[in-house]
Amino acid sequence: MSLNKLLSPVTIGSVAPENRVVMAPLTRNRAAQPGDVPGAMNVRYYEQRAGAGLIVTEGTQISRQGQGYFATADIYTDEQEAGWAEVVKTVHAKGGKMSLQLWHVGRVSHRLVQENMQVPVAPSAIRAENTAVFVKHGDGSFGMVPADEPRALDAAELPVILRQYVEAAKRARRAGFDMVEVHAANGYLLHQFLATGTNLRTDAYGGSVEKRARFVVEVVEAVAGVFGADRVGVRVSPNVVAFGMSDSEAQASTLHLATHLERLGIAYIHIAEPDWVGGEALSDDFRAELRAIYGGKIIVAGNYTPETAEERLEKGQADAIAFGRPFLANPDLVERFRPGGPLNTPDAATFFGGGEAGYTDYPTLDSALVSPE
Ligand SMILES: Cc1cc2nc3c(=O)[nH]c(=O)nc-3n(C[C@H](O)[C@H](O)[C@H](O)COP(=O)(O)O)c2cc1C
């Protein structure tokens, strides 16, 4: 099957990726310690994957409070900003483009990850069921623990978090990123505001879909004020039920949010489809409705192969396809797509945490061909 569309250029807002193969955001828990600073190993990892039309970085915390797991990347200190600047410079030198994913985990956290053992925060005090987070214990050992029960954010705290998004966006701009992606997916803070099951607020930020979407819209608008709407994307995950999420109006919430993103002129919507973690698949009707409401670019992710990706593009239901696990295991994924494979298999045991093994040592097609057997 030809991959004419997938390998063709595309314009997303004011950014022009050379192909429609996007690297999906992938948390890898390998930021240098102490300080969660992107270091030389992270530079190498992203440089190897610069052949993507657009790289969306791993979720990157906007604040200390926004952290849910040990050794995830941040962008709220000068050192972190400088670390990211090095990553971007290296990827740009290889012709790649980068969008930084701005992240606040909300309730998907634990006191052991928070500063001074503070309780994690959320729109409402509801624990994420069946959700574990990766922590460092007091004795220095590591392990998974169930997410803590959060406390509900006071409305007066929301402008503070909003400013942290703005400050993080300013740092991302200074670090040279082409775009930023507001993470409103996969059960984290902004998704918690949007969904009926996690937002039981009775103030201006809860209740109707308009009110549940309000904080997300405020954040996106503020970030667009820094970067320009034509360099901002938003990730959503309607129907995803992992991380204890439930939303009785999941698709309606997303479509409502999309009307605001259209009004603001946001460059792209990135849909994390439910296939990989569970949840009802998105319907053709939903995809058509989203297209009708929203004129920006649509990126989709979730279990795609080059063939299903090409098909989705052919049908006009998306403008680019993001690949997560395939990119994790195949630094030269685009080069492998051209001749049609073969692909390395991702090793789930090394997804989260560790060193170069399972991170920067997946072979490229070239190196595999020349390696002695
Ligand atoms: C190891 C791993 C880490 C992930 N980290 C993030 C993340 O930081 N932000 C995010 O929005 N999605 C994250 N995801 C979801 C992926 O972006 C993507 O939606 C998912 O892997 C499905 O795509 P795939 O089938 O091509 O892997 C992660 C997935 C995996 C496997």
Q: How many residues comprise the chain? A: 373
DSSP 77: S
Judge if the beta carbon of residue 287 lies within 6 A of ligand 1: no
Residue 139 burial class via C-beta count within 10 angstroms: exposed 0-12, middle 13-18, buried 19 and up: exposed
pLDDT at position 372 over 60: no
pLDDT digits (tens, 9 = 90+) for 23-79: 999 999 999 999 999 999 999 999 999 999 999 999 999 999 999 999 999 999 999
Cα 229 from Cα 181, distance rounded (Å):
11
CA of 41 to the centre of ligand 1 (A): 20
- 235 Cα to the center of ligand 1, angstroms: 11
The reply to whether 188 belongs to the active site is yes
Taking the centre of ligand 1 as the mean of its atom positions, its distance from the CA of residue 283, in whole angstroms, is 21
Does residue 274 have its Cβ closer than 6 Å to ligand 1? Answer: no
Residue 362 CB neighbour total at 10 angstroms: 23
> For the chain, first and last CA: distance in Å?
30
Reference 289, options 314, 317, 261, 247; nearest CA is 317
Handedness of CA 87, 93, 96, 99 (dihedral sign): positive
Q: Label residue 137 by pLDDT band (50, 70, 90).
A: confident
Spatial separation of the C-alpha atoms in residues 276 and 120, rounded to whole Å: 26
Ligand 1 pocket test target in 100, 325, 328, 345 with most atoms within 8 Å of CB: 325
Which residue CA neighbors atom 11 of ligand 1 most closely?
Answer: 25
Residue 27 Cα to ligand 1 midpoint, Å, equals: 7
Pairing assessment for the beta strands 142-146 and 132-136 based on DSSP bridges: antiparallel
Distance CA 348, CA 360 (A): 14
Q: What Cα–Cα distance (Å) separates residue 119 from each residue in 105, 115, 251?
A: 13, 9, 31
Reported as a pLDDT band with limits 50, 70 and 90, residue 369 is low
Q: Catalytic one among 46, 76, 165, 188?
A: 188
> Is the minimum distance from the CB of 26 to ligand 1 under 6 angstroms?
yes
**Cα→Cα distances 78→37, 54, 83, 113, Å:** 10, 25, 9, 21
pLDDT class for 373, splitting at 50, 70, 90? very low
Task: Provide the phi-psi class of 140: left if phi over 0, else alpha when psi is between -120 and 50, else beta.
Answer: left
At residue 104, the 3 state secondary structure works out as coil
Q: Return d(Cα 312, Cα 300) in angstroms, integer.
A: 9
Domain 21-370 has CATH 3.30.70.250: no
CB-ligand 1 contact for 270 (6 Å cutoff): no
Please give the structure tokens belonging to residue 276.
Answer: 């990989």
Please tell me what DSSP assigns to residue 340: T
Write down the pLDDT at residue 368. Answer: 64
| Ligand 1 pocket member 358 (CB < 6 A) | no
- Contact partners, residue 212, CB within 8 Å, separation at least 6: 193, 194, 195, 196, 199, 205, 206, 253
Contact call for residues 265 and 233 (beta carbons, < 8 A): no
Q: Flag whether pLDDT at 370 surpasses 70.
A: no
Atom from ligand 1 closest to the CA of residue 351: 1
CA of 204 to the centre of ligand 1 (A): 32
Longest dimension (CA), the chain: 65
Of the candidates 66, 80, 67, which has an alpha carbon nearest to the alpha carbon of residue 36?
80
27 lines ligand 1 (CB under 6 A): yes
Residue with CA at minimum distance from ligand 1 atom 16: 324
Residues 187, 192, 194: CA angle, nearest 5 degrees: 115
Task: State whether the beta carbon of 197 lies less than 6 angstroms from ligand 1.
Answer: no
**pLDDT tens column, 211-253:** 999 999 999 999 999 999 999 999 999 988 889 999 999 999 9
Check if 186 has its Cβ closer than 6 Å to any atom of ligand 1.
yes
Average pLDDT over residues 102-120: 97
Hey, is 236 helix, strand or coil?
Answer: strand
**Distances 104 to 60, 193, 319 between C-alpha atoms, Å:** 8, 12, 27
